[in-house]
Structure 1
């Protein structure tokens, strides 16, 4: 009986060993699974950090490209300005040609006036010829002689005036020929032809005068008889001629007075224009000095830009080296993961072999037990029922004890894991909160400083633009006034040609000077507009950077969620050691980034001190190629 009982208890012991082995295998598999999950999470962190680094490098490279494109656009703007200057010179040449054409038109106008004067002379001759038959009498020979003398004197005076005017026109044509050497030959030929035509006309007039005197002598002999009849009509005609001569003399006196008053007014105006010219020349000298200072300042800023570019290139090289180091570490970690997979595969194979052996042994034991049981069943069936009941009770007791032990072990492990996880989670939360607060404060302070500086720059630029616009409007008004005065002077020039030529030339010179000043002011306005556009571009870039920072906070939150999910699982001592090493490396990186940020702040303060001088001539983005505090968020 005792031997039977012992034989019956043996399969129970075999079942217990099988359960222990299966539970140990499951625990090994679970631990390896947790370890692999942690390794994968760490690798994802490293890959994400490398991706953020690559994004920052690409952003810095894009900023450098944009700065290079801005410099190219600046060079293109300068070339456009030179082209516009060449066009303005060509327009000035066209204006000079138009002025020459206007002078030619004035010469033609003078010719027309000559023709009108000749026509008036012919009319006077006709009137004299009409009056001569009436005035042919013996009693009025003395009066007629005086009339003929007066008419001859008037005729000679008019001829002298015409000769004087023709001489003045010839002098003007010679002066215009000196100014334009290309058209000199044509103008000389024209004037020689006109002079010959005038000489021919003078000869014709002399011959006509001789003919008229001959006819007059013939008519006087014929019309002496009819003089008595027309004596009364002659007296009336004489009275009319006397009144006409008096009126003509009064008109001449009035014209002389008006011309003298106009000459005085023009002299005063010329003095005023000379004073304005002196003031404008002083302003031009001051602006030249200011432009020289601005050029020197631009050279200094260019040297600073070159130094800044060199520093940014050095930083890029350092970051590339760090990237290479991180890629090496990634490769090492991937090798470790491959080794761990191999170890897992080996353990799985060993476990399968042990299971096979255990199954073979269990089958053999089952066969032996079946044989023993068959022999005992034949002997004592009643005893079997009792033994089976007792056996079931023992199995239940063993299962209960094992379940209680497993529950106690699980609760103990859960408590330990929860305590360690809570401590680590709280420490990480505190560190993340402090780092986030620092980064937000630094970002906020930098944005406020940049906005203040840009507002000040915009205000100063707007004030300067308003001043330049007022100056332009004043100069335009002065130009309009000068053009009106030029028109009035041209009208006076037709009456007074000799005295007004020098004044018109001086006014033309002033106009050219004013136009040159206007062109300079327009250039300055263009430069100010370019600086405004550059500042607006900088504002947009800074807004984009702020948006990028907000976008970078989203993957940071996702990382936090991944960390929380991974920390809910069990942790091993090796994993915690690796996490500590990685955190030490991250702290070292953060210190390097802090040093770079401090260097960037120093550079930015130097650039901010010089920003007031570059508002008129040059502008650039100080944030290109530098690390911002947003890198801390991505590393966290």
Structure 2
């Protein structure tokens, strides 16, 4: 700007003004340079401060990492200790199960002994009964009855003692059940409270993490605002770096949250394991309660059995009393047989003493086992309480360690983020420059390659399109040739049918009029045709047979013609669909090429090729439209020919024909009238020279004035106008007119 100002020469200035202006411009430049230097120095200070903060954050993050790893190792050690304790408890429970099984075996042995004693009692009863039968008349039976009464009383006392002991055991079992149920309720309440406390602590920690992240986000936003105010050039770079840093922070925070959640999940798994252990213990207690219930049921069964035995013994006592009354008379007679009875008494006493000793031993064993079971239950209760205390202490330690680890992790993450922010900022500048260079090179190469590929594709497409166009042109030419051949065949068939009809008409006239009279009305050409056909021996067929044959031949020709048309149309529809598909693909390719040509500059060759392709497509569409119109025209032509032929072979009385009844009416009305006969040669020439190329318009023959009953007709012939020859001629001429109409 200063140089431009110095170059301008204004009128009325001098050399002094030029020097002043140059000095002022240099001063402005120096001021701007000083301002820029100050701003650059400020920016360098800010960048240095940010780098120092990043270093501090990285150091704190590393410290947090180390502390977190130490806490994890400590937690792992504590979990291993808890696992070992759980294993030891499981082993103790297995030992308790073994003791319970041993007690069950002892109870079963006791039951067996009682059953054996009862069996021995039954045997003794049987032996006593046998001896009573032997010594019915002896006096010793009275003594035996007294002994039996004594033994029964002894056994009843023993049974009462056993019942009392069983009741005591049942009461002890009930008390143990109640104590276990109360302890379970207390333990469940404690565990529920602990769980809620842990959940609340976890929620608090999560909220603290969220607050820390929000504070960090606020700080970053403040820093961004300060950077924006300082300079516009550094705004974009700093904003991008801050956004990337935020993303990295969020990702790392998510990773840390995942790691903390994994630790929490591990602790929750441990808690679940402990709960499962407690559930197993509760199940074991339930099993023991069930076993005690089974024992109660067995004791009740034993009581029922004892009652039954008592009833039996009472019955036996009654029988013995009756026997004693009968045997009191025989006591004196059987005094000599007292000695064997005394021996039996001694034997019975010995057996009773043995039973008493065995019962005492069993009672002592059962009491000892009861004491052991009670001690085991007390020990298990104490162990459960100790385990609870240990778990509570471990939970508190774990929570404290988690809080410390989270604080350290936050510090470590801040430091890491700062360091990574600086490193990524530097790396990104370098990577952006390299990427821009590589992208420019790649873009140039890709443009060159794409241009070459497009040229190759265009050449290939042009070749394929040309081949397809040539094939389609050949197909169209073949179709046109086939259509022309069919038209020629139709024309030839029509001419032949007309000639045959004329010949048959001449033959019919020959039969009616004779050679001399009929030949007067026809031209020499028709007469020659007639003579040739007559010489060849053509048969005389009636008109109805001719009509039937003509209809059959026409039906056959129609069917053949329709089949050919259907085949042609099917081929045409297939080719048309194929062409439409190709046209659609070519249109899509053209659109793509147009889009690419918009990106790049269009060449003259490409535009020429596109215009040629568009012209060819328009030509194809015109050909397709022409073929469709030809198809419609053929349908309309066939319908017209059918209606025309149906009209030609109708014998209904119309206004344009003369029947015998109409002839009589006209002769009565106009008696002095002579009908003129037209020249048949003109009809023959007109039929031979008719052009079948006019497809839409059917051949029309003008009516002769002779057939019109008007007053302007010519009079030809003799004065006898009402002769039979003239009337017959007029009738057959009218038929001839209808046939060829």
Q: Above 0.5 in TM-score? A: no
Specify which structure has the higher proportion of helix: 1
> TM-score, normalising length from structure 2?
0.31
